[in-house]
A and B are shown apart, each in its own frame.
Chain A
């Protein structure tokens, strides 16, 4: 039993699902029974839909148990540890046999997430044991020049994973070209897209990879200061980053003359953001670090020329940095092996919405969206029909079923009108109203607009008002054209990405689901039956038993009919609340 390891996933997702209790339970059992196994913590491995996850590694191999609560934890210790009998029913992943979740794992390629769920993020040695800090040591040891580092990144084809997709190596080259006494490197950890959580996962699961990536970047561009701009809503990520930074300093990965590289001095500090979505935009992020209100400014000048405190500044996303050490160790060619011609490597996606397996998946670029959703994600919940997937969060757009074979690379996704963005994939099924989807995302951007530009501040508000009108059954002829006109003007006349992309969800839904808009406006009907104000409830006389339940529950007394008589809904009084529909035990209410 001394060689047995029990590892509990304690990422935010696991903790939210109850993993902390499970961990405590196991610890209690261990203490009570004075058991010798090695109880460890790790972070999210991506199978959020199966949390809490407990992995047992013994001589026979690894067994990942999913959806474990305290009771099940007791069971698996009793059976697996005491009796050496793994409970196969609870295992979601094992080296020894296939499970239903196999397809989630098998098609993934883990570079960014290489350590997530495998190491204890609060233990630098575990990181070092898996090639951690080897890249920077290699640079120091072999005296790799700055330009060579940059060239490697250029050759790898890595593009900015924050959403912009700008070639990282080139960005570094620009930063390197701008000479100044002070230069800054910033890690953008202000992940704000609704439904996206890959950055959080990386920060919680493998903070040293990000820090090492930043150290390498700082070396390449001769940065003198580093900042991780992380939203305050990620307390666990911040805590683990703080621990990791402290450990890195203690080991000399940060500080003066790092690893003996003369004149290479760097420290990194964490700046907690207050949760404004717009602070993910480079210039707003810089303003926020400087203590100003987070508002973007016109570029140029780009941060590479004049950024934090007016000094040359390079900003990369968490995921981008996490890739850097791997590329330097394994070589640009190894990285570029994955992906398509213009989009190399892998990309982490956050699967959410009506998908069976919601969680994080890292796939090679070039995989089709269909494979991501159906093979890895397990398809649509409850056997419903796939309708669309929103990619790129509120700045992105909807990809309809007809384009589901589109492959994930920057250019292919852009061609649909959506964007790769930070990798959020929100899956919708046939019950989703696409106008409602557009409304959801626009509502988000409208509220998150910093308020600076007229078009973004008021234009998105007006678009949202039109969408609300449409879903309330008060759409007017010409509303679609009004939306389109405003949308293009907002895109044309906004300072930053937030405004320039805010209309995308509306534009793509109009592009692919124009008929739904028309149905709302012209027929006052919601084809997905999601917009309650557009529904008609009617009692099917043949099915009605006259039980009177619906009439009793109707808040507006809009249902007539005596006991054992067929009931009838007076449409003029019906407020479409749906309570009759949910209460009827005989499926006698028709909705259309």
Chain B
């Protein structure tokens, strides 16, 4: 049978591998087929039916994810039937998707400002980032932060929880933008390359300024023509200064002109600026002319003196720079909008003590912001509600004397939905006033119309039936193709934010025009909305979120408001803003930017209401400390369930119920943490929607993040990871398709153990202890103190300790400093302290991880692999699940968590004696593989001689096996197994037991064969690097004996030193115990914090004269040090780690360091002071360390006989404070 199959895919002949699915083949051939339930890590499942295709000769549509290709198959992946099938599947799914893609605040905002996103930035103190995000859609945040009408806050769901007190969305916006405006490094957008195109913008109001901002950003030259002598339009000439100070306005205008936008003042379009000039000089234009002309009351007598339109009143004052004098005068303001509020509150400031607002409906119907009404009342404004002026009465001079009003009552709702006011018969009354300000609307002034239409030959600029400019509602292109319009001039009087929104639309359309592209509105994004299902009610939120009082805006004392000083004072501090940010309920989905379901719904133009009907509603489950389950968003693809079973083997999730009411739930438990969940987060990694996400301690946004790759620095497996961050704040970690983890699988350590990267408690400067307290000192001072201390003692009175989490480059320099600079071989790692040398070679000839699946049987020897090295655990589980490979656990644990995941468990009491007994049996019965041994190994005869001196029965007894036969059976079956792999962990297996395991693998001839032999697992990300880099008194780089004459010669040459230490004190442990060490240097280790016996370590430290610690945090050890050097993170320094299989992986620096000198640079600095020159470029360090390997001699495998077990662990957590930090936090998180 041929292993190739020919198919016709979308009319193209394609040869593919037999056994592949249609989806596999299509993807490889770059044919996009959507799918939600498929994950290449898992077996095909087929539930979503989004991946359907048509196959000639087969009934219905075929799910491509599970349909295997057959010879001659003709497949169509994209025709109307297929698209319709996919669309209906999505329509149906989303008809039962009670969830919001975007928060109501964002959806309600005319400009679509990403409120939840900027609140997330504020939560992290990222104010510039917040401003940058706001300016994506609104370039005037400091202005809007003061005067916006805030539909977002009306829509805010906080209202439902803390009645009537929405999140302070606008106040926070103001806080962030004021912070940015006042800072030295305010945010400035990147401008695209200049296009050479020019756009004329008529009017420097909010619309004009915004359009200019976006056009300039896109690389066009935006020039604004403004009729007034200053910019801002209504912002300046309408809104009074007590609400919007001119200096704030000017700063935001300046921000825009600083991008290169020109504003030409006193240029009135149609007057001293002709369309002919514009047409000549510009490629396009945007009319943002506003709605300028005020309307009067429209009743008898409104021509009386002292009757003005409110806007003229406000404008006149700004132009003249002088307030009216209303002292002792009575003022009536007609209208209920924000202009009315500006008028009445301004009148008070002009000295009037009797100001009336006349409005024909009730306060509830008033369009003005509630806060404005509230403030006006505080300031003493009187309200005449349900009142309508019908006549202005003049005195003999033609001045206003009084206004005759009618009382009104509310009738049936009108077209706007508001109840129509109806006059009450015989309710007429007179109100005596001196001034009447009519704030009831404006008209657009279009005197330039003829001027344009006369000159243009590309169409006609028309007005609509309200007298405003007619423009395409979606693109805002007018009847003249090069002319666009936006703002009040198009819509009639509206809000600032609406004008800004339109301006962006017009600018984008104009950009399309300038680029010669078709002018189309952006594709409508699909948004699932809870409101499509039901009106939101308080009970849904009460009890789910804590109540929290709104941070109120500090304001000027009401008695103090006789001037035009800004009334609202802004939040007092960052803390206030951050505290208010906590009130955000995060209504929008955290998967907004990367939800497959949403993307497909947009692509297939899904209508959520098409199949509206019954829907399921679930409470979001936040109870697991790291994993959040929102069943409302679940589409039942079961990927979470399957990955938990097929890859993790935890089987912690399952389906409950049948049919429409099916849902995902923890298996046999109410809470996920009470199930068999291992908290690896692979469920999150596979969820195609936002149903399973990270439960984080910060506001996750969603915000768009940057992604960087690095290598995990927890265990020795060496997974590649992706950090999702914004400005160095890591939001999320996911698996990369790395060398070790090609499937992108990760365990809980990198997935949830990243908070240390965001920790503000980090040490960033050298600290010297004086009188028991640390104080910051310069690096140079720190170096001098250290050198001085080194010089005061004999070289071997110094001891250097390098941690297993450090990079190879750091390790190399530390040992070089000790040897070449300080002239001592007292260099080791506490991680391996006093644990013998059995670990030195145990990564040799290991089975590569990717051969695990080829095993015929896997033995787990003392490895709680699902906790300590889970990604290898996944590989084993997958082999077990996919290929039915039996897994046997041999453990000394009474309650190993692996028991339920394996096929067989053998409980013993000593790994060392068990393996030794097995070896004894094999050797004594001559079951050894003589040919393999003679070809590859030395020392068999000696080993045999020594071993057979021991007593087999005694070994068996000490091993603690349940039956004598157990050892024999194991020995036989292991020996006979075709592909047997023993996976063991240094955490449990002693150095000498490791030697015996190697002896076993050699005896059976398995070491180094495909899918056969040993997998040793070290504890830390760079445990292996310690040996490779010579962090050992007797070993140099490449685990060469440090006294090897060839190596010594080479080191002297490469290191340019005449002398190297010759004394080798093998046991640093004894040194420490005996108190021989005067100066202790700890690099990246926290012995005090992680010691099994802290008293012992405290003794070493107290005996020493001088203790230096290099670390990122104030660890227990650091707090006892005399001097602390701040260490950089691997993400800042870059470097390389060598994993437990000797796979060497380099990683780049991805974040700007918070420490001025990187860790390895500090060591190089010290070396220089010790007279050893050192390059600090990572590549140079690598080349240098590699050059020392040229003397490595070929090594045959060697049997090593060991006398005793030597399980002497001195430290937990790999002696690493960061590991300890996470392991402690992890444990604590699950305490009830």
Q: What's the count of A-B pairs with C-beta under 8 Å?
A: 98
Q: Which of A276, A451, A458, A493 has the most CB of B within 10 A?
A: A458
Taken together as a complex, chains A and B put the C-alpha atoms of A295 and B657 apart, in Å, by 12
Q: How distant is the Cα of A450 from the Cα of B95 in the complex, in angstroms?
A: 19
Distance of A113 from chain B, by nearest CB (Å): 33
Q: Are B614 and A461 interface neighbours, CB within 8 A?
A: yes
Closest 8 CB pairs of A and B: A451-B662, A492-B60, A298-B66, A458-B92, A449-B659, A465-B613, A461-B660, A493-B49
Partner-binding segment picked from B40-48, B724-732, B767-775: B40-48
Interface residues of A in 456-496 (CB under 8 A from B): 457-462, 465, 486, 489, 491-495
Cβ contacts under 8 Å, B50 to chain A: 454
- The contact sample of 16 A-B pairs, CB cut-off 8 A, is A297-B66, A451-B657, A451-B659, A451-B662, A453-B46, A454-B49, A458-B92, A459-B88, A461-B659, A462-B611, A489-B84, A489-B88, A492-B61, A493-B60, A493-B89, A495-B63
B52 contacts partner chain A, Cβ-Cβ < 8 Å:
yes
Task: With a 10 A CB-CB cut-off, give which of A297, A446, A452, A494 has the most chain B CB atoms.
Answer: A452
Which of B66, B614, B635, B655 sits near A454, CB closer than 8 Å? B635
C-alpha spacing A399/B1112, complex, angstroms: 80
Q: Are A293 and B47 in contact, with the CB atoms below 8 A?
A: no
User: By the criterion CB–CB under 8 Å, are B85 and A489 in contact?
Assistant: yes
Q: Mark B739-775, 1 if CB is under 8 A from A, else 0.
A: 0000000000000000000000000000000000000
In the complex, residue of chain B having the shortest beta-carbon distance to the beta carbon of A293: B655
Which positions in A face B, CB cutoff 8 Å? 276, 293, 295, 297-298, 300, 446-455, 457-462, 465, 486, 489, 491-495, 500
Could you say which of A295, A298, A450, A460 has the most chain B C-beta atoms within 10 Å of its C-beta?
A298
Task: Tell whether B27 is near chain A: CB-to-CB under 8 Å.
Answer: no
* Given A493-B61, A493-B85, also A451-B655 (CB < 8 A): yes
Residues of B within 8 A of A276 (CB): 658
Q: Are B46 and A446 in contact (CB under 8 A)?
A: no
Query: Contacts A293-B654, A492-B85; is A458 near B660 (CB within 8 Å)?
Result: yes
B998–chain A nearest beta-carbon distance, Å = 37
Q: How near does chain B come to A136, taking the closest CB pair, in angstroms? A: 34
Interface centre among B59, B60, B63, B661 (most CB of A within 10 A): B60
Q: Which residues of B contact A447 (CB under 8 A)?
A: 658-659
Q: B632-665: which residues lie under 8 A (CB-CB) from chain A?
A: 635-636, 638, 654-655, 657-662
Which residues of A are found within 8 Å of B48, using beta-carbon distances?
454
Contacts of B636 on A, CB cut-off 8 Å?
Answer: 451-452, 454, 457
Shortest CB-to-CB span from A515 to chain B, Å, is 26
Which B residues lie within 8 Å of A460 (CB)? 659
The CA-CA distance from A457 to B634 in the complex, in Å, is 13
Question: Which of B63, B95, B654 interacts with A298 by CB under 8 Å?
Answer: B63
Q: Which residues of A contact B295 (CB under 8 A)?
A: none
Which chain A residues border B59 with CB–CB below 8 Å? 492
Inter-chain CA distance A459–B93, complex, in Å, is 9
Closest to B613 in A: A465
Q: B1008: shortest Cβ distance to chain A, in Å? A: 32
Pairwise interchain contact A453-B49, C-beta atoms closer than 8 A:
yes
Contacts of B92 in A (CB 8 A): 454-455, 458-459, 462
B505 CB to nearest chain A CB (Å): 36
B528 at the interface (CB under 8 A from A): no
Given A462-B611, A493-B52, decide whether A449 and B85 contact each other with a Cβ distance below 8 A: no
Residues of A within 8 A of B635 (CB): 454
Assess the A298–B613 pair: CB atoms within 8 A: no
Task: Give chain A residues whose Cβ lies under 8 Å from the Cβ of B660.
Answer: 446, 449, 451, 457-458, 461
B1198 contacts A by Cβ under 8 Å = no
The residue of chain B having its C-beta at the shortest distance from the C-beta of A309 within the complex is B884
Tell me the complex Cα distance, A496–B1092, Å.
Answer: 59
A481 smallest CB distance to B (angstroms): 14
Residue of A with least CB distance to B47: A452
Q: Which residues of B contact A450 (CB under 8 A)?
A: 658-659, 662
Complex CA gap A570/B87 in Å reads 47
Distance of A408 from chain B, by nearest CB (Å): 25
Give complex CA distance A178, B789 in Å: 81
Residue of B nearest to A485 (CB): B88
Report yes or no: A458 in contact with B95, Cβ–Cβ below 8 A.
yes
Chain B residue contacts of A300, Cβ below 8 A:
68
Cα–Cα, bound, A491→B60 (Å): 7
> Closest A-chain residue to B49, C-beta based?
A493
With both chains docked as a complex, state the minimum distance between the C-beta of A573 and any C-beta of chain B, in angstroms. Answer: 27
How many angstroms between the C-alpha atoms of A490 and B1167 in the bound complex?
Answer: 74
When distances are taken between beta carbons in the complex, the residues of chain B under 8 Å from A297 are: 45-46, 66
Q: A458 and B658 in contact (CB under 8 A), knowing A297-B46, A452-B47, A453-B47?
A: no
**Nearest A-chain residue to B659, judged by Cβ:** A449
Once the chains are docked, how many angstroms separate the CA of A447 from the CA of B63?
24
Take A298-B63, A457-B636, A465-B613 as given contacts and tell me if A449 and B89 are in contact as well, using a CB distance cutoff of 8 Å. Answer: no
Question: Smallest CB-CB separation from B92: which chain A residue?
Answer: A458
A452-B47, A453-B47, A455-B92 given as contacts; is B659 within 8 A of A446 (CB)? yes
Contact call B95/A462, Cβ cutoff below 8 A: yes
A462 touches B613 (CB 8 A): yes
B1010 interfacial contact with A, CB 8 Å? no
Residue of A nearest to B663 (CB): A451
Q: Does B67 have its Cβ within 8 Å of any Cβ on chain A?
A: yes
**Given A298-B44, A298-B67, A451-B657: A457 and B611 interface contact (C-beta under 8 Å):** no
Minimum distance in angstroms from A538 CB to a CB of chain B = 34
- Residue pair B96, A458 in contact (C-beta under 8 Å): yes
Contacts of B88 in A (CB 8 A): 455, 459, 486, 489, 493
Instruction: Across the interface, name the chain A residue whose C-beta is closest to B87.
Output: A489
User: What are the residues of chain A within 8 A of B47 when measuring CB–CB?
Assistant: 452-454, 495
Q: List B residues 352-383 near A (Cβ within 8 Å).
A: none
Contacts of B95 in A (CB 8 A): 458, 462
| Docked CA distance A453–B659 (Å) | 9
Task: Report which of A461, A491, A495 forms a contact with B613, defined as CB distance below 8 A.
Answer: A461
Across-interface contacts of B85 in A (CB, < 8 A): 489, 492-493
| Residue in chain B with minimal CB distance to A449 | B659
Which residues of A sit under 8 angstroms from B63, Cβ to Cβ?
Answer: 298, 493, 495
Given A298-B66, A449-B659, also A495-B93 (CB < 8 A): no
Given contacts A276-B658, A298-B67, contact A455 B44 (CB under 8 A): no
CA gap between A159 and B49 in the complex, in Å: 32
B658 → A minimal CB distance (Å): 6
For the complex with contacts A451-B660, A455-B88, A495-B46, 5 further pairs of A-B residues with Cβ separation under 8 Å are A450-B662, A452-B638, A454-B48, A462-B95, A493-B88
- B609 nearest CB across to chain A (Å): 12
Tell me whether A455 and B60 are in contact in the complex, defined as CB-CB below 8 angstroms, given that A298-B44, A461-B659, A465-B613 are known contacts.
no
Q: A276, A451, A486 — which one has the most chain B CB atoms within 10 A of its CB?
A: A451
Select one of A449, A451, A452, A458 contacting B611, CB under 8 A.
Answer: A458
User: Which A residues touch B60, using CB under 8 A?
Assistant: 491-493, 500
What is the bound-complex CA distance between A313 and B611, given in angstroms?
40
Complex-state Cα separation, A297 to B67, whole angstroms = 11
Nearest A residue (CB) for B88: A489
Q: What A residues does B658 contact at CB under 8 A?
A: 276, 447-451
A295 to B46, CA, bound (A): 11
Query: What are the residues of chain B within 8 A of A293 when measuring CB–CB?
Result: 654-655
Residues of B within 8 A of A462 (CB): 92, 95, 611, 613
A448 and B660 alpha carbons, distance in the complex (Å): 9
The complex places the Cα of A187 from the Cα of B613 at a distance, in Å, of 40
Most buried by A among B45, B638, B658, B661: B658
A72 to B: closest C-beta gap in Å: 44
Question: How far does the alpha carbon of A493 sit from the alpha carbon of B89 in the complex, in Å?
Answer: 9
Return B370 CB to nearest CB of chain A, in Å.
41
Q: How far is the CA of A454 from the CA of B636 in the complex (A)?
A: 8
B 75-96 to A, binary, CB cutoff 8 A, 1 in contact else 0? 0000000001100110011011
State the CA gap A461–B662 with chains docked (Å). 13
| Min CB gap A180→B, angstroms | 14
Nearest A residue to B636 by beta-carbon distance? A451
Closest chain-B Cβ to A372's Cβ sits at a distance in Å of 30
